Amino acid sequence: MMRSMFSAISGLRAHQTWMDVIGNNIANVNTTGFKVGRVRFTDILSQLVRGASGPTEQRGGINPLQIGLGAVVGAVDTIHTQGALQLTGKPSDLAIQGDGFFVVSDGSQTLYTRDGAFDIGSDLRLVNPSNGFYVLGWQADANGNVDTAGPVGPITIPIGQQLDAVPTTQITVQGNLDANQDTAATPPHYVTKVSVVDSQGKRHEFYILFEKTGANTWNYTLQEDDPRTTTTESDAGFDLGGTTTGTLVFNADGNLNRAASTIPAVVLNATAGGAGTVSVTPDFSRLTQLAAPSTANAAANGAPAGSLTTFTVSQSGEVLGIYSNGVTKVIGQIALALFTNPGGLMKVGGNAYLPTVNSGEPIVGPADSGGRGKIASGYLEMSNVDLAQEFTSMIMAQRGFQANSRVITTSDEVLQELVNLRR
């Protein structure tokens, strides 16, 4: 009789633990990146009353006779399923779509989290402002290159940092020139505009004039003024140093014949302000001559001076700085960690985990590689707690606790009957 009472007591304890886990799950239903816990019971070692015996020629075998001694909590599992993504629109809010973890540091140890509610601190480092954990990754060099093979460290996002002017080094012309163009028409037969940047970051506009001179042959001219207007638009302080012309020859299939074409370098001279001379050879390799309307357009690289105004994070974890001059440049790379057994991680509060001997060592690398998952900028991962499941589990835990309490009261009544036998 005493066995039944002690078994029931163990059941009460186990179901109370289940209720504790359910309560924690419901309490964290709106906690960013929280992963739900699940209780698994196991039975206690059973008391052997009679051993088993094998069959003989005269009679069959006998199974062992055992009486169970109750139940205990065998495990509290952390279920690392994907939580829904909540749109915030804030570029520093990050969510992981996949199995990875952000790598963060509290100054003394490296931790791992799914909570991507980050911001830029007063020291311009990417940080979780609720606990002060720095986000770790790799900083890009001056050319935007990132060495992901090196050690991870805090990521600095230098808002307000100045970016020097980048002079034009390439002019690319692409699109189409109409093969049906009548050579007898008054030239120019097509005009497009290009904007270049000098060594001091000042923009200058020039025009490219196209004239069809024969079958599959076009001349082009660069000049400072738009031939379609009567207004002189010469750019004071910077000029072409005269007219620059060239010849474009196309093959029968409409593609450019580079060997037969004459494409000299364009020399842009600074006549005032102290800017350096820019010499660029235009690239017409993407230009075609087909029986379709002319759509040729020119674009040049280079940018004036600017400052870092904001940033965004790509799916692969690249931190892209956006400058006031329109330039986008890689300034860092966020690291993600992957674990062989994420269920073996130990919760340490603050939505963070520490690895254990059963979780495996973290495999750190860039996002969108090695199964670490992609990063969604402007989103946060919600808790994966299912309230319907938790309320159902609460009912089951309550009934289990109630049934075990009935075993105790019934056993007490039986013991009371035994006491009353003497009366």
- Return per-residue pLDDT of the chain as tens, 423 residues: 578 888 889 999 999 999 999 999 999 999 999 999 999 999 988 888 888 989 988 899 989 888 888 899 999 999 999 999 999 999 999 999 999 999 999 989 999 999 999 999 999 999 999 999 999 999 999 888 999 999 999 999 999 888 888 888 899 999 999 999 999 899 999 999 998 888 888 888 889 999 999 999 999 999 888 888 765 555 555 677 655 899 999 999 999 999 999 999 888 776 656 677 778 889 999 999 999 999 999 999 988 888 999 999 999 999 999 999 888 899 999 999 999 999 999 999 889 999 999 999 999 999 999 999 999 999 999 999 999 999 999 999 999 999 999 998 888 888 888 888 866
Q: What is the rounded distance in angstroms from the CA atom of residue 207 to the CA atom of residue 195?
A: 9
The contacts of residue 305 (CB under 8 Å, 6+ apart) are 162, 163, 164, 165, 201, 325
- Tokens found for residue 376: 């969604």
pLDDT, tens digit, 9 for 90 and up, residues 301-343: 988 888 999 999 999 999 999 999 888 899 999 999 999 999 9
Closest CA relative to residue 268, chosen from 173, 167, 163: 167
pLDDT of residue 84: 95
Domain limit, last residue, from 271, 300, 329:
300
Q: What is the CATH number of the domain that holds 224?
A: 2.60.98.20
pLDDT of residue 268: 79
Is residue 103 located within the same domain as residue 185?
no
Task: Answer whether residue 406 is part of any domain.
Answer: yes
- Tokens found for residue 325: 């001059």
Which domain range does residue 104 map to? 85-163+307-381
Is residue 269 located within the same domain as residue 203?
yes
pLDDT of residue 326: 83
Is residue 224 located within the same domain as residue 258?
yes
pLDDT of residue 66: 84
- Tokens found for residue 393: 């589990």
Q: What is the rounded distance in angstroms from the CA atom of residue 222 to the CA atom of residue 219?
A: 10
Domain limit, last residue, from 300, 320, 338:
300
Look up tokens 């892209």; give the residue. 320
Is residue 251 located within the same domain as residue 226?
yes
Q: What is the rounded distance in angstroms from the CA atom of residue 35 to the CA atom of residue 42?
A: 23
Domain limit, last residue, from 283, 300, 317:
300
Is residue 151 located within the same domain as residue 246?
no
For residue 410, count CB atoms less than 10 angstroms from its CB and return exposed for 0-12, middle for 13-18, buried for 19 or more: middle
Q: What is the rounded distance in angstroms from the CA atom of residue 245 to the CA atom of residue 181?
A: 20
Is residue 361 located within the same domain as residue 393?
no
Is residue 183 located within the same domain as residue 295?
yes
Is residue 295 located within the same domain as residue 175?
yes
Is residue 294 located within the same domain as residue 339?
no
3-state SS, residue 390: helix
Domain count, the chain: 3
Is residue 23 located within the same domain as residue 47?
yes
Distances 234 to 239, 242, 403 between C-alpha atoms, Å: 8, 12, 94
